[in-house]
Amino acid sequence: MAINIEFNDQEVLISFQADGAGFLTRLFSNQGIETKDWSKENQSLCLAFAELRAYQELNEESVTINDESVLLKHDAVAALSENAALALGLPETSPYILQADIQGVVGHHNFNLKATWSDGVDQITCERNGAILNTIDGTYRIPDPLFSAIETAEGFIPENTDFSGHWEALAHFRKLLGFVDEGEKSLEPTRGQRIKLTQALDNMEVYTAAAFSLHIDENENFSPMLFGSEINEKKSNGETINENHGCLSDVDQSIFDADPRRGFSSFDEAKGTYSLGANKYLIIDQNLLPALKVVRQKQKSSKIEQKEFLKNPIKEISTAIETHLEQTGQLEGFDDIQIEEIVEQVSVNLFVETPEYADRAIGIGVWERPNLSFVDKQSSPWMPETFGVQLGDQWVPLKVEETSILSDKIEEAIRAGQKEIFFNGITVECTAEHLETVQNLTSQQEPESGRGSGPAPDGDPRQKEGPVHAAILQENFLEMEWEPDIPKRKCVIPKECPSSVQTTLMGHQEESLLWMINAWESGLPGVLNADDQGLGKTLQTLSFLSWLKDNMENGEDIKKAPILIVAPTSLLKNWEAEVSKHLDAEGLGILIRAYGSNLKKIKQEGVLGTDIQDGTEKLNFDDLNVAVSTGNGHQFWVLTTYRTLANYQHSFRTINFSTVIFDEIQNIKNPASFNSHAARSVVADFRIGLTGTPIENHVADLWAIIDSLAPGKQASLKEFVSYFKDVTEKKMNRLHKSVFGEREGMPPIGLRRMKEEVIGDLPRKDYIIYREDMPAEQMQAYDAIRPQLKDAAKGSAIKLLHHIRSVSLHPDRVDTCGADHYGFADKSARLKAALKVLAEIKERKERALVFIEDHRMQWFFKELLNRSFGLSDVRVINGQTPIPRRMRYVDEFQQHLKQEDEFDVMILGPKAAGVGLTLTAATHVIHLSRWWNPAVEEQCNDRIYRIGQKKDVKIHIPLAIHPGYKDRSFDCILNALIKRKKALSRSVLWPPTNDDFDIRNLMEVLTDSEPKPLPDIDNFDYLKFENWIAEGMAATQEWSVRETPRWGDKGADVVFVNKHKKDCGVIVQAKHVSSPDTSIGHEAVEQVLRSSGEYGLDTPSLVVITNAKKFTGKAVELAHRKNVILVPRSHLSLWPEHVLA
């Protein structure tokens, strides 16, 4: 292809034309190649388009992909990797040195930022058009962060900025060059791109704060504790965030807190930049600045106002954030519910509730948070006696007591200007990054104070005021203090679905309705509906509420009270829609919307703020209370959010509700959280919790959910945690019985059914494992990391585990992919397996969802699919996809239900897109990445396997097998962990997690060098070989063996039936040979195929297993075509756990 590039100082236009046409033909026809075909014409464009689309997702205005051209703003040009830029025909990266300097005096008109180019000796003459640099030697591309640094320097006008603005520009300029550790460092050594800083800039340190907590001292003064942008990733990974994670050192944080000239409190208002001393600067992220302005205002307020602020900082922070987002136009086009959700998410990301904050808040009487030190041990330090640390490319062995010594030596060397030191026989490079790594390791050794171990609160203090506080908030934390005494209730109408429900209930939904009615009648305080996703829990609940409403209407001596529904903000509209869809015109009665801007309509006249500011009611529910007193309360229902309930709990506690519904009740799973407290404070005769999402819980989370619905029906929290902290099948069975079994003639507290158990006509869901041996490059990368795990400390071990997990997907970074993107894919066992599966799906003209965690891999895989399968535009949904676009993608994909003979693929992030989406147009799920939490994987599967799915679905799981470690390969170890937890999930909502136990387990198995030992199989006879196969299946406790006749077995040597899944079976043809070098022919495949209909199993898995080294090509081809699983000698140690899903 011929590349045409046009550019000016604003943008770059790229187009391609076919090489075959003559010059005059191309000139006059202007016939270009459509962009959708670019990567088909030129393989290297696969990576380029992956990067462009990924950048476009966050910077839509910077990338425009037209039919025959691509228009790029210069920031997009600069953001490209070298390989991607060259593929697009852009110039090579500049070989020159960027010299960065400052001139004049900060705050004066002569102050300026300078960025010039040099060849190492002399300054060069050049002209810049955005990211394009023109010199006498040629035209070059300027990559980021150099481009942004130059833009900052050239865009800085000292006359237009005050003293504070000068410092902010300087700090930002230096921050952009932050990858430079010394005065001169190569960014891309192969291209010779370098940057040189003057001494003033070289010595400058710049920190960026993107989140904060509140540090409260012994005198009850508070100041912001700052965190970097990486903190939200740590939070999403479930890490406990404490003050040790702050982005500043203790010395710098103290300067920021209290320095009389430059500290936070020395200025009337929070600023965007702070000086922390000689050549040290702090930049405040623009989204964080409004929140810090609130903190500074409160520091200047009265002690009373300060205490009120500390009770609930999120409230005023949210107000400031909303104002900021409105003023900057970021809320345009969103409705009230969406705005509330956006503001809540931004606020939660900005404010970090550290254990130190919570504990100090207790000390000043803000919230008497319970001491649950016996609950959460997940953040306790775990470290072997000897360990080590990875510093750059060097592994440094350490003893525990040596970490502080190494830290001191690196710090001293940096101060002295030394680039390296000699420690324990190892040369250690002395950089700020390495110092931080060792310091973080050192901090892990310090024992926790014990204050605040246990779940952190989720935002608000507990309030003592309120007429029913003593009755509702009796706590069963340390011992059993309260179990409500509710007498049996009276049914005056038949126990059947009322006529007001317009939707015909399915059998399992009628059972649920009867269960709720019986539980209500029996006097149970509440119940948990934990039915699997897609079984219609909302319809079941609405049917019960309609029945309850009719029962109140017809019962003379039954109190007639309203209904309260508490739900996440994102589900409020769904509840209204479901009421309209399933109930008659009267619905649940008159709706009171108690959330968002609707609160203004029910606020008491002339009052400001929320209830928890002073413990008084701010919402006016007088009309509702009048309705209750006159016998008309059942004609109303109230819809609110968890956040609103917490903020206005006193107002809600003035009403005696007939029933309260907690949708997505996992929102209150933390027993020490304020949301959990607020939920328990609701006065309601009956309580219903809904959750269909399998969530990996800590033991205390499960207790909190049950105790919030049916207090006293479990043991005290302390006793419960002590018994169930060890996750065993026996204990999980006991827990299951206590929740989902009848007790003392009472209905069960909980109900949990899986789709396949209750829906007779639900399609099949089959899991298929694909074992693919690692290619040489992947195996070598794996081998380089694995030995480091044995002596790694906990923090390093987790990083190494993530690294080995990443290498098990692909040994290289996506941006290293050159022109041969197929060669890049061939380095990955999982990618190879996934592409084979997708080729088969294309042949059947079906659709698939592919779940990938890494964003770069998502976009690369998108372009790989576009090229490999001729797809026009594979959609990608991840955490960065805006909600409107996400919904559009879903609607477009679901159009395949109307036109089913088309192959299509959607790529999704497992956590961002694992819930809330219905994608039943697909019948295949491929887990290219597997999440640590198996519950997330099941959520992903449920995008296609739900009510509305008419076809059988298949879940495809590729495993990368290291030929040397076999079942000790990372993918196999993780697969075993996931299977164990899935098995336990049958006993409870989802098995409680123990992160430390899982880490130790993974480490122990990973570092065990020997795969599962095999017996002397070659000396077996055929019967003993069959018995060995059967024993392996029996050991899983998942399968029972069905006898086959000695003669006339129809090709089946061993038959297995799954104990838990209907009609799920396996038929095995065992081929034992005396010489392992014998090749097994296609006849073995034909034999097992003949047996498939002979044993009363619906589409069983068919397996041929042998001690021979290989199968013939004809056998492999037939097995592939007929979906027969082949297990050669090299994979016998994987039987059956990593052969059968």
Establish how many alpha carbons lie within 13 A of residue 505's alpha carbon, considering only the half-sphere containing its beta carbon: 23
Residues 554 and 647 grouped into a single domain: yes
Cα angle: 915, vertex 920, 926; to 5 degrees? 70
Q: What is the DSSP letter of 571?
A: G
* Domain assignment present for 27: yes
Domain end (from 21, 54, 87): 87
Can you tell me the mean pLDDT for 820-832?
A: 82
Considering the domain architecture, whether residues 65 and 135 belong to the same structural domain is answered as: no
In a domain, 693, yes or no: yes
- Cα separation of 942 and 934, whole Å? 13
Q: What is the pLDDT of residue 31?
A: 53
Q: Domain check: are 330 and 413 in the same one?
A: no
Spatial distance between the Cα atoms of 6 and 149, rounded to a whole number of angstroms: 24
> Is position 292 within any domain?
yes
Query: 1109 Cβ partners below 8 Å, 6+ apart?
Result: 1076, 1077, 1079, 1128, 1129, 1130
Stretch 256-284: mean pLDDT: 86
Q: Give a yes or no: residue 468 inside a domain.
A: no
- The total of structural domains in the chain comes to 7
3-state SS, 512-547, equals HHHHHHHHHHHCCCEEEECCCCCCCHHHHHHHHHHH
Residue located via tokens 């830029």: 85
What is the rounded distance in angstroms from the CA atom of residue 979 to the CA atom of residue 977? Answer: 5
Write out pLDDT tens, residues 431-451: 866 776 676 554 334 333 222
1139 part of a folded domain: no
- In this prediction, residue 376 carries a pLDDT of 46
Q: How many CB atoms lie within 10 A of CB 1072?
A: 20
- Same structural domain for residues 212 and 197? no
Whether 458 is covered by a domain: the verdict is: no
Q: Which of 93, 77, 84, 72 is nearest to 42 (CA)?
A: 84
Three-state SS sequence of 1119-1131: HHHHCEEEECHHH
pLDDT bracket for residue 471 (50, 70, 90): very low
Task: Give whole-number Cα distances, 376 to 225, 236, 928, 993, in Å.
Answer: 24, 17, 32, 11
pLDDT for the residue 362: 39
Looking at the fold, whether 890 and 1032 belong to one and the same domain comes out as no
Q: Distance (Å, rounded) from C-alpha 952 to C-alpha 844?
A: 13
pLDDT at residue number 987: 55
Residue 88: band (very low, low, confident or very high) from pLDDT cuts 50, 70, 90: confident
Sheet holding 526-529, edge to edge: 590-594, 636-640, 563-566, 657-663, 684-690, 526-529, 750-751
Tell whether 1049 and 999 lie within a shared domain: no
Q: Are 117 and 186 in contact (CB under 8 A)?
A: no
Name the burial class of residue 1076, with classes exposed (0-12), middle (13-18) and buried (19+) by CB atoms within 10 angstroms of its CB. middle
Q: Would you place residue 937 in the very low, low, confident or very high pLDDT band (cuts 50, 70, 90)?
A: confident
| CATH classification at residue 561 | 3.40.50.10810
Q: Are residues 878 and 747 in the same domain?
A: no
Segment (H or E) for 1054: strand 1054-1058
**Segments of 895-999 assigned E as strands:** 904-908, 924-927, 953-961
786 and 902 belong to one structural domain: yes
Kindly state whether residue 459 falls inside one of the protein's structural domains: no
Contact criterion met (CB below 8 Å) for 168 and 181: no
Q: Which amino acid is at 316?
A: E
Give the range of the structural domain holding residue 102, as residue numbers without chain letter.
97-202
Q: Is the dihedral of CA 328, 333, 334, 335 positive or negative?
A: positive
Q: In this predicted structure, what is the pLDDT of residue 636?
A: 97
Could you tell me if 722 and 781 lie in one domain?
no
**Helix/strand/coil percentages in the chain, nearest 5:** 40, 20, 40
CA distance 786 to 21: 54
Nearest-5° angle of CA 402, CA 403, CA 406? Answer: 85
Among 987, 1006, 1025, the domain boundary falls at: 1006
Contacts of 1027 (CB under 8 A, 6+ apart): none
Chain centroid to CA 33: how far? 39
Using pLDDT thresholds of 50, 70 and 90, give the confidence band for residue 375: low
Q: Which of 47, 64, 87 is the last residue of a domain?
A: 87
Using CA atoms, how far apart are residues 83 and 261, in angstroms rounded to an integer?
49
SS3 assignment for 214-240: EEECCCCCEEEEEECCCHHHHHHCCCC
What does the pLDDT look like over 552-564, one tens digit per residue?
A: 999 888 889 999 9
Angle CA(860)–CA(866)–CA(871) in degrees, nearest 5? 150
d(CA 1078, CA 1056) in angstroms, rounded, equals: 27
- Residue 203 or residue 419, greater confidence: 419
Distance CA 968, CA 358 (A): 42
Same structural domain, 312 and 393:
no
So what's the pLDDT on residue 202? 73
- The least confident of 471-480, 521-530, 834-843, 1031-1040 is 471-480
Confidence at 426, pLDDT banded by 50, 70, 90: low
Element holding 884 (H helix, E strand): helix 883-894
The CA distance from 544 to 727, in Å, is 35
Q: 203-218 burial, b if ≥16 CB within 10 A, otherwise e?
A: ebbbbbbbbbbbbbee
Cβ contact 32:16 at 8 Å: yes
- pLDDT tier, 1135 (very low <50, low <70, confident <90, very high otherwise): very high
- Rounded mean pLDDT of 469-474? 36
- The answer to whether position 481 is within a domain reads no
pLDDT value for 916: 64
Domain check: are 952 and 1085 in the same one? no
Neighbours of 606 (CB within 10 A): 5
Do 868 and 891 lie in one domain? The reply is yes
Helix axes 163-176, 146-155, angle to 10 degrees: 160
Handedness of CA 893, 896, 897, 898 (dihedral sign): positive
Residues 6+ apart with CB under 8 A from 1054: 1026, 1029, 1030, 1033, 1041, 1044, 1067, 1068, 1070
**Token pair belonging to 553:** 């209407």
Least confident of 140-149, 540-549, 663-672, 1040-1049: 1040-1049
pLDDT for residue 975: 92
238-255 residues labelled b (16+ CB within 10 A) or e (exposed): eebbbbebbbbeeebbeb
The pair of structure tokens assigned to 996 is 């430390």
Separation between Cα atoms, residue 125 and residue 145, nearest integer Å: 21
Question: In sequence order, what are the residues at sequence separation of 6 or more whose Cβ sits closer than 8 angstroms to the Cβ of residue 944?
Answer: 849, 919, 920, 922, 923, 924, 925, 953
For residue 49, name the pLDDT band (cuts at 50, 70, 90).
Answer: confident
The whole-model pTM stands at: 0.69
Ranking 18-32, 75-89, 343-357, 775-789 by mean pLDDT, the lowest is 18-32
Q: What is the mean pLDDT of residues 73-93?
A: 89
DSSP state of 447: P
d(CA 392, CA 499): 70
Is residue 1125 within 8 A of residue 1119, CB to CB? The reply is yes
Pair type for strands 847-851 and 904-908: parallel
pLDDT in the model for residue 755 = 77
